[in-house]
Amino acid sequence: MTSAQETRTTQNAVPPIPPAKKKFELAYALRSNVVPLFFLVICVIGAYYSGLSLPFLLNEIVVRMARNSFLVISLIIPILAGMGLNFGIVLGAMAGQFAYFATVNWQIAGLWGFTLTCLLSFPLAVFFGWLTGKLFNSAKGKEMITGIILGFFANGVYQLINLYFMGNLIPIRVPEMLIPGGYGLRNTVDLKIMHYALDNLWKVRISIPGSIMPIVVPVVTLAVIALLCVGMHFLFKTKLGQEFRATGQNRHIAEVSGIQVDKIRILAIIFSTVLAAWGQIIFLQNIGNMNTYGAHVQVGTFAVAAILIGGASVSKATIGQALMGTLLFHTMFIVSPLAGKNLLGNVQVGEYFRVFVTYGVIGVALALHAWQGKAKRKT
Amino acid sequence: MAAYRLEMRDIQKEYFGNRVLKGVSIRVEPGKIYSIVGENGAGKSTLMNILFGMPVIHNTGGFSGEILMDGNPVRISSPQDAVDLGIGMVHQEFMLLPGFSIAENIKLNREITFPNMVSRLFGSRLQSLDIPAMRRDSRKALDRLGLSTLDEMLPVAGLPVGYMQFVEIAREIDKEKTKILVLDEPTAVLTESEAEVLLATMRRLAGEGISILFITHRLDEVLAVSEDITVLRDGEQVATLKTGEASVSRLAELMVGRKLEAVGCDACAPSPKGDKTLLKIEDLRVDMPGERVRGLDLDVYEGEILGVGGLAGHGKIGIANGVLGMYPAEGKLILDGKELPLNNALEALRSGMAFVSEDRRGVGLLLDESIETNMTVTAMQCQEKFLRRMGISLADGGAIRRHALKMIRDLDIRCTGPEQIVRRLSGGNQQKVCIAKAITLEPRLIFVSEPTRGIDVGAKKIVLDLLVRLNREMGVTVVITSSELAELRSICDRIAIIYNGKLEGVLPPDASDVDFGLLMAGEMSHSRKEAS
Ligand SMILES: Nc1ncnc2c1ncn2[C@@H]1O[C@H](COP(=O)(O)OP(=O)(O)OP(=O)(O)O)[C@@H](O)[C@H]1O
Ligand SMILES: [Mg+2]
C-alpha cells in the first residue's frame, strides 16, 4: 500500500453534513403562500365594498364552511397519492344523491333518515370509487382529464336512470317525487324531512356586542368536520398513509419496495369517493332540497377551485389548505355579487368575476402542473 | 442436497426481440460473495432484475429459465415476492424517495408500527407509525456503515450521491430476514475509502450467512471480496471461475474478448498548454451539501488538462457544480478576462463551458427520448446548432443523425441505433450518452466529474483517450474531477488537491505518492497553522 492510500484510509470515511439551518424567513413564507394571500386580499376588498354587515358575513361564512368543507377535504388523499385533483368526486356526490332518493322514498325523516342515507351511500360510493380507481389505473398520469370526462359520462348514466328507470323499473312510492307522467324524477326533490337534520341538533348562538344579529353555529356539523380532520391527520400517520405518500412521490420506487401501487391508488379513490358522498349528503341536508339533475354537476369544479385557492397544488395538499380554501372561495361567493354591484353598478360583473376565478384557478393549476412535469423531465 | 442458497438455471431474456441473456446459470452458496462482471450492456443488471422480479422484466414478456432457492423452485413475479423470499437489492439507479427522510426511506414499506383502536377494528394497515423506533433502527444501520454523523431525519433530496448510496445499503442491511443481497454497482459512486467501508461491511454480512451477489466494474474489488466470479459478454456466460484462478487482466480479457492495453496517454504529443489563464476562480464558495467549497482560488490555464482530486466530502465535487450554476455559489469567476455571473447555468453554457455531472441519472438525461435527441438537445437550445432556418427553425435530422452515429462509434455506445430511447440502455451506456452530450457543445472548457464511474474497463480507456484527444486535437481545456488518483495521474498536466473546501496545493502528475498523501490529509494547512 502506498502512503497516499494509507493516509486516505485513516481519514474518517464520510465527513459530517452540518444540519441545515432552520430559521423563519418572511420572504419565503410569503412566496410559498402567495395564492391564498392574494385571494385573502381580494376577499377583504370585496367584503369592504359589498357593504355587508360583519355579523351577516360571519353567519354566511359559518354556514358555508359547515356545508362545503367535507367535500373539499375529500380531495386530499388522491392528491397525496399522486393522482392529482380527483374530479371523479362527482360520482361520490351521485352516490349520496341516490341514497337520498331511497330515504325520501321511504319517508324516513330526521337524524335517523340522515344516518341511513349516509349508510346507504357507503356501498354505492365504494363501488363507484372502485370503478373510478380501476379506470384511473389504466390511464396513469392522465387521471385528471380522465376524471373530468368520467364525470360527464357518469352524468349521462345518472340522467338515464333518473329520467327513465325511476318509477318504471325502480318503484317509487312518493308520487310527488315523480314527473306527472308516472316515471322520471322531478327537477327538484324535496328533502324537507331531513332539512337541517344534522345542523339543528345543537345550535349555539353567539351574540356580538353592538349587533342584534347573533352568529348561529351548527356545532354538531362542525364537530363532524373536526372529527374528519382528526381522522385524516391520524391516517397520515399510519402505515397506509405512508403508502399513499410513497406512491404519490414515485410510483416506480414504491412498487419496487413492494407496495402494491395499483391497489393503493384504487383505495385512495375509494376513500375520496366515500367522503365526497357524505360531503354531498351534509351539503344537501343544509339546503333542504335537491336539484335532481344539477346538484352534483359543479361539485368537482367547486371543490377543486376551493382547495387550489387555499394554496394546494396538484401534488401537495394539507387539511389547513383545504379549510383555508373553503373559507376564501366561499367568502368570495358571498361578497362578489354585491361588491360587483357597488363598485361597478352591475351584479353580473361580480358573478362573472367569481366564475372566472373558479375556472381560471383550475386552468392555471393544471397548466402549472403540466409545465412542472415537463421541467422535471428535462432536468 | 440444498447446498446452494440460490440457483439460477439457463436464464434467457429478450427485450423486443433483442436477446440480452442467452442461457446464464449461476449457483450461490450460503454466506458467499458471488461477483458478476461484464462490459456495459452485457446483461448483469438484467439478470439481477429477473431475480428481483422487477416490473420492467414482466412488462416486456418475462424470461425463461428456472430459479431455485435452497433447492426449491420459486416463482418471483414482483419485487414483493422477492422481498418475501428474503432477497434484498440495491439497484444501479437510486431507489430513494426524495421527499422522505432518510429514516423513512430506510424503513419504506417495512415501517415499524403499533396498534391503535382503529387498527384493531380495520386491520394492521391502519397501525400508527412508530417514528422513534424507526429512527432507532435507521440509526443503528447507519452506524454500522460508519455514518454516525449523518442525521437520519434529513430529507434525501439534496444529499450527495455517495450518501444516497449508503442510505440504500443501510436500508438493505436493516432487513433482518435477508438471505440474498444483490448489490448492483454499489461502489460506482463511492470514493475508494467509502468503498473500503462497504467491502468490509459485505464481508461481515457474508460472515453472518447472507449470500451476496456483487456487480462492479472495479475488478480489484471483485478479487478482494468474492469467492466465485461469473463473466458475461453480450448476454453469454463466457466463464465462471474461482477467485484463485482469476486476475485482473484475465477477467478483463474475458470480459472484452481481447487483450487490453493499459489506460493512459499513449506517448502522445504534450498538451497545447499555454501560460494564459482561461478561467480564474476567486474565493469560490459553493453550498453543496456534503461537498461544500469554502473559499477556493484556482487558475485554469488555457489548453491544459487539470485534475482535481481530494478526499470525499472536502469539496472537489462542489467546484464544477458551483462554477456551472448547479448549486448556489458565491465568489468571482473570470473567464477569458470577462467576469461571469454565478448561479446561472444557461449563461455558463453559452460562454463555452460544458459539464458532465457526477450525478448522471439526476441531471443528465431525458430518459424517454432517443439517444440522438439527448445528445443534441442542449446544443440546439443554447447554441442553435443542428437547426435549419426556413422562416422558423427546424431540427436538422440529417446532421443530428450523422453526429449521433459518430458519437456512438467514438464512445463505443452499445445500442440498437441512434433512435433507441435512453431508458433502454444499460447504466454504463447511459453515462456515455451524457459525455457525448457535453462534447456536442464543442466547449472551450469542459468540466468532467467522475468520468469513468460505472464504466467498464474497456470503455474507461475509450473515455479517457477521448478526453485527451479533445484536448490535443481541438484544444479544449479539460478540468477533470475524480476520486481515482491513478486516473488523474495518467492524463493530467497538473493535479489540484482540495482539502476542506480550499485549494491545498497543485502537484505535477509524477509527484510522489507521499506528496499526494500529505496534501490530501491537509498537512500543508496544518503546518501553516502551526507556523503562524
Ligand atoms: N428496459 C429495457 N428495454 C430494452 N432493452 C433493455 C432494457 N434494459 C436493458 N436493455 C438492454 O439489455 C442489455 C443489457 O443491459 P443491462 O442493463 O443488463 O447491462 P449491464 O450489464 O447492467 O450494463 P452496465 O454495466 O452498463 O450497467 C443492453 O443491451 C440494454 O440495451
Ligand atoms: Mg447495469
- Which CATH number do you get for residue B66? 3.40.50.300
- The C-alpha atoms of residue B521 and residue A136 are separated, in whole angstroms, by 57
Interchain proximity B125–A240, CB inside 8 Å: yes
The rounded distance, in Å, linking the Cα atoms of A232 and A221 is 17
Residue B26 confidence (pLDDT) above 70: yes
* B421 in a structural domain: no
- Tell whether B166 is covered by a domain: no
Alpha helices in A191-260, H assignment, sequence order: 219-236, 239-249, 251-256
Distance CA A219, CA A182 (A): 41
A37-368 CATH pick, 3.90.320, 1.10.3470, 1.20.950, 1.20.1250: 1.10.3470
The mean pLDDT of A359-363, rounded to a whole number, is 81
Confidence of residue B532 (pLDDT cuts 50, 70, 90): low
- Residue B313, domain member (yes or no): yes
Reported confidence tier of residue B361, pLDDT bands at 50, 70, 90: low
Cβ < 5 A residues, ion ligand 2: B 45, 92, 426-427
Q: Which chain B residues are Cβ-neighbours of A14 within 8 angstroms? A: 146-147, 149-150, 162-163, 166, 194, 197, 312-313
Nearest CA in chain B to A232: B126
Phi, psi dihedral angles at A288 (to 5 degrees): 95, -10
Chain B residues closer than 8 Å to A3 by CB: 513-514, 517
Please state, rounded to an integer, the average pLDDT across all residues of chain B.
86
The HSE-up count of residue A138 (CA atoms within 13 Å, CB side) is 5
Within this chain, do residues B9 and B145 fall inside the same structural domain, yes or no? no
Counting other chains too, the contacts that A168-176 makes at CB distance below 8 Å and 24 or more residues apart are A172/A105, A173/A105, A173/A106, A173/A107, A174/A104, A174/A105, A174/A107
Please tell me the predicted confidence (pLDDT) of residue A288: 92
What residue owns the CA closest to ligand 1's atom 28? B41
User: Is the residue at B393 inside a domain?
Assistant: no
Of the candidates A4, A243, A253, which has its C-beta nearest B520's C-beta?
Answer: A4
B433 CA to centre of ligand 2 in angstroms: 15
Question: What's the domain range around B107?
Answer: 98-161
Sequence letter at residue B73:
P
Q: Do A14 and B149 touch (CB under 8 A)?
A: yes
| Confidence bin at A12 (pLDDT 50/70/90) | very low
Contact check, Cβ <8 Å, B193/A377: no
- Does residue B231 share a domain with residue B108? no
Q: In what order do the strands lie in the sheet with B64-69?
A: B18-28, B6-15, B64-69, B72-73
Nearest Cβ partner of B311 from A11, A250, A378?
A: A11
Which residue from B91, B411, B424, B457 has its CB within 8 A of the most atoms of ligand 1, so it is best to mutate? B424
Cβ–Cβ pairs < 8 A, chains A and B: 141
Please state the rounded mean pLDDT for residues A116-143: 95
Of A317 and A336, which is predicted with more confidence?
A317
Residue B466 has, within 13 A of its CA and on its CB side, a CA count of: 23
Ligand 1 atom closest to residue B235's alpha carbon, by position in its atom list: 14
Among B161, B211, B151, which Cα is nearest to B181's? Answer: B211
Q: Is residue B395 part of a domain?
A: no
Shortest Cα distance from A333 to chain B (angstroms)? 36
- The pLDDT, as a whole number, for residue B10 is 94
- Residue B50 domain-assigned? yes
**Residues constituting chain B:** 532
Reference A21, options B323, B287, B106, B160; nearest CA is B287
Which candidate, A365, A349, A327, places its Cα nearest to that of A49? A349
Q: Ligand 1: which of B426, B431, B456 to mutate, most ligand atoms within 8 Å of CB?
A: B426
pLDDT of res. A38? 86
Tell me which ligand sits closest to the C-alpha of residue B455: 1
**What pLDDT, on a 0 to 100 scale, did the predictor assign at position B264?**
47
Indicate whether B476 belongs to any domain.
Answer: yes
Contact yes or no for A255 and B55 at CB 8 A: yes
Range B393-420 average pLDDT = 87
ipTM over 0.95: no
Residues from A contacting B (CB-CB < 8 Å) are 2-11, 13-17, 19-20, 234-235, 237-243, 245-246, 249-250, 252-260, 377-379
Q: Can you name the residues that pair with B12 across neighbouring β-strands?
A: B22, B64
Helical ranges in B385-520 per DSSP H: 397-411, 427-440, 457-474, 485-491, 513-520
The pTM of this model reads: 0.80
The domain tally of chain B equals 3
Nearest CA to ligand 1 atom 12: B20
| φ and ψ at residue B88, rounded to 5 degrees | -120, 150
Query: Which residues from A are below 8 Å from B520, CB to CB?
Result: 4, 7-8, 11
Question: Taking the CA atoms of chain A, what radius of gyration do you get in angstroms?
Answer: 24
A45 alpha-carbon distance from chain centroid: 26
CB B493 within 8 A of CB B304: yes
List ligand 1's pocket residues with C-beta within 6 A: B 15-16, 20, 38, 40-46, 56, 92, 414, 424-429
Minimal Cβ distance to B79: which of A14, A241, A256: A256
Locate A257 and state its grid cell.
419496495
Closest-lying ligand 1 atom to the alpha carbon of residue B44: 21
Residues B183 and B155 in one domain: no
B141 in the same domain as B72? no
Q: Is B191 or A378 the better-scoring residue by pLDDT?
A: B191
Strand (E) or helix (H) holding A282? helix A261-287
| Beta-carbon separation of B99 and A249 below 8 A | yes
Q: Which residues neighbour B393 within 8 Å (Cβ) at sequence distance 6 or greater?
A: B384, B387
Report CB contact under 8 Å: A259, B109. Answer: yes
Nearest-CA residue for atom 24 of ligand 1: B40
Cβ B277 vs Cβ B300: under 8 Å: yes
Shared-domain flag, residues B315 and B456: yes
- For residue B234, what is its C-alpha cell? 453480450
Residue A179 CB neighbours (<10 A): 13
Model confidence over A225-282: pLDDT tens digits?
999 999 999 999 999 999 999 999 999 999 999 899 999 999 999 999 999 999 999 9
Domain ranges for chain A: 37-368
Q: Which residue of B has its CA nearest to A2?
A: B513
Q: Which ligand is nearest to the CA of B37?
A: 1
Asked if residue B111 lies in contact with residue A242, where contact means CB atoms within 8 angstroms, the answer is: yes
Write out chain B residues lying below 8 Å of A255, CB-based.
55, 78-79
CA of A347 to the centre of ligand 1 (A): 65
Verify that B8 and B156 share a domain, yes or no: no
Q: Shortest CB distance from B192 goes to which of A8, A243, A255?
A: A8
| Domain match, B59 and B129 both | no
User: Average pLDDT in the A109-123 region?
Assistant: 95
Which chain A residue lies closest to B100 (C-alpha atoms)?
A246
| Strand locations in B194-346 (E) | 211-215, 228-233, 236-242, 277-286, 293-301, 305-310, 329-335, 338-340
pLDDT above 60 for B266: no
Q: Answer yes or no: do B339 and B466 share one domain.
A: yes
Cross-chain Cβ contact B95/A243 below 8 Å: no
Please name which ligand lies nearest the alpha carbon of B430.
Answer: 1
Residue B479 covered by a domain: yes
Ligand that comes closest to the CA of residue B20: 1
Please tell me the number of the ligand nearest to residue B431's CA.
Answer: 1
Residue B282: per-residue pLDDT: 92
> How far does CA A298 lie from the centroid of its chain?
11
Whether B142 and B214 map to the same domain: the answer is no
Neighbour count for residue B287 (Cβ, 10 Å): 16
**Hey, are the CB atoms on B517 and A255 less than 8 Å from each other?**
no
Quick one: pLDDT band at residue A9, thresholds 50, 70, 90? very low
Q: How far apart are CA A80 and CA A249, in angstroms?
A: 8
* Statement: residue A325 has pLDDT above 80: yes
Domain termination residue (choose one: B227, B257, B287):
B257
Q: What is the pLDDT of residue B369?
A: 86
> Closest Cα of chain B to A236: distance in Å?
9
List the single residue in A with minimal CA-CA distance to B111: A239
Asked if pLDDT for residue B456 goes beyond 70, the answer is yes
